[in-house]
Amino acid sequence: MTRFILHRLAALPVTALLAAAIVFALLRLAPGDPASALIGENATPRQIQQINQNLGLDQPLHIQLARWTAQVAQLNLGNSLASGHKVSDLIAQRLPATLSLAALAFVLSIVLALPLLLATGNNSAAPSVIAAAVLAVPVFIWGYALVWGLALALDWFPAQGWPTRPSPAAALHHLALPAVSLALVQAALILRLARPFFLAGLAFLDAARARGESGLRILVHHRLRAALPALLTAAGLSLATLLGGVVVTESVFHLPGVGRLVASAALNRDYPVVQGVVLLLAAAVIVLNLVIDILVAVADPRLRHGARTSS
């Protein structure tokens, strides 16, 4: 187990940098350039050339990548091309809203998925049908539907924006609709991934009932305990897709989070901001997967035994 954890921790910076490097190259291969975005449509070729020289964007791609990697190694994500502010400061300003949205959406997805998983029966196709229907609809469509129904029609929640004074109650009120729109899709994903393992646990229920075990013990000891590794794995995969959904959802609801920051930066060809956010998200996904793998190993004695043997 110790060797496994150390190996994954050692791979974390390499994997995160590789993901950011791929985005680094794709941004520069895309049409458009930061100079045109900064100056506007009336930019002359001479002005564009001068700005590219000042920003070092006229250098070969491998030199730009090496320079940026050296910056990251010094924990410096660079400065925004549009505002001149440090990328780390911009991310720090936007991170609380994104973390609050992601955490609330994840908790809601577990709350929505778990009852359906526990209600699963061998002959019940309803959970799979519900999950497939929810997953067939993009997350932004769920967002717009919730805005139309609960914000515009019923006026129960704000349609967009962020409170001027973000107290916990006000923040929760503004996060409710975006969190639910994300949670619907994530709950459906967890349901699809974990349901086969919950079905496999049904084989032990008749024997447990014959032994006179209580319904609570059957629920906790047989169903939840047996399916916990699968549920944790599904939750981990859901978290990875959740971070991608945050980008779209924050744009739909105009939340001042990291997702909206990177969407705006991508449109403006603000390379350092996009690279910094992608690096952060990649590192977050790797760390979350590591935590999930450890929890799965703790929940499954067979994996713990294998980990001890390998170490």
The band of 29, judged by pLDDT with boundaries at 50, 70 and 90, is: confident
Contact call for residues 293 and 307 (beta carbons, < 8 A)? no
Residue partners of 148: CB distance under 8 A and separation at least 6 = none
Domains of the chain: 2-310 (1.10.3720.10)
Give the integer Cα–Cα distance in Å for 62 and 108: 44
Q: Considering only residues 309 and 162, tell me which one the structure prediction assigns the higher pLDDT.
A: 162
Strand partners, 79: 86
pTM of this structure: 0.78
* % of the chain surpassing 90 pLDDT: 4
Specify the pLDDT at position 254. 87
* Mean pLDDT to the nearest integer, 254-269: 86
**49-105 confidence digits (pLDDT tens):** 787 787 787 788 888 888 888 888 888 888 888 888 999 999 999 888 888 888 899
CA 121-123-127 angle, 5° bins: 60
